[in-house]
Structures are given as C-alpha cells and as structure tokens.
Amino acid sequence: MVFFGEPGRDGKRGPHTNLWNQAKKKTGLETSAFTTYAYRDEAMIRTIAERVEAFYEELERRMAMVMAA
C-alpha cells in the first residue's frame, strides 16, 4: 500500500504525484467513481479485519488449550 501525503510547505505535492496519475491512467482508475481516499480506507479496513480475525482465532485456540487441561 502506498499512501500519498499532504502537499509540502510550498503547497505542491512531490514528484510521486505524477507517477500516481500515470498509474491511475494506465489502470483505468482515473475514471473510477472512487477516490484515492476510498481505496486507502478500504485497504485499511481489510487489513484491520484480517488482524482482528487472526486475534480471535488465536484466542479461541488458547481457550481450547486451557479447557483441555
């Protein structure tokens, strides 16, 4: 995942913005109804959900070990 930050002190974004715009154009994302922020938020939600699921799986495993003892 790549998160592009806010503009610098000069009010301009760095050179990575041009690369991002080129990537959007090549993949067809420039016409997408979603914004960059929507993609970022979706990625974060999925990452958190995976970590929460892994946590609960480990918790269940440990509880099963305790109950079996």
Q: Establish if 3 belongs to a structural domain.
A: no
1 domain-assigned = no
Q: What pLDDT is stored for residue 33 in this prediction?
A: 58
Number of domains in the chain: 1
Residue 47 lies in a domain: yes
Map tokens 């440990």 to a residue: 62
Residue 15: phi, psi to the nearest 5?
-65, -20
Residue 55 covered by a domain: yes
* Distance, CA of 67 to CA of 28 (rounded, Å): 53
- On whether residue 56 sits in a domain, the answer given is yes
Residue-level pLDDT at 40: 78
Taking a C-beta distance cutoff of 8 angstroms, is the pair 6, 12 a contact? no
pTM: 0.46
Domain that holds residue 27: 16-68
The model's pLDDT over 9-53, given as tens digits with 9 standing for 90+, comes to: 777 766 666 677 777 788 776 666 566 677 778 888 999 999 999
Q: pLDDT higher for 69 or 63?
A: 63
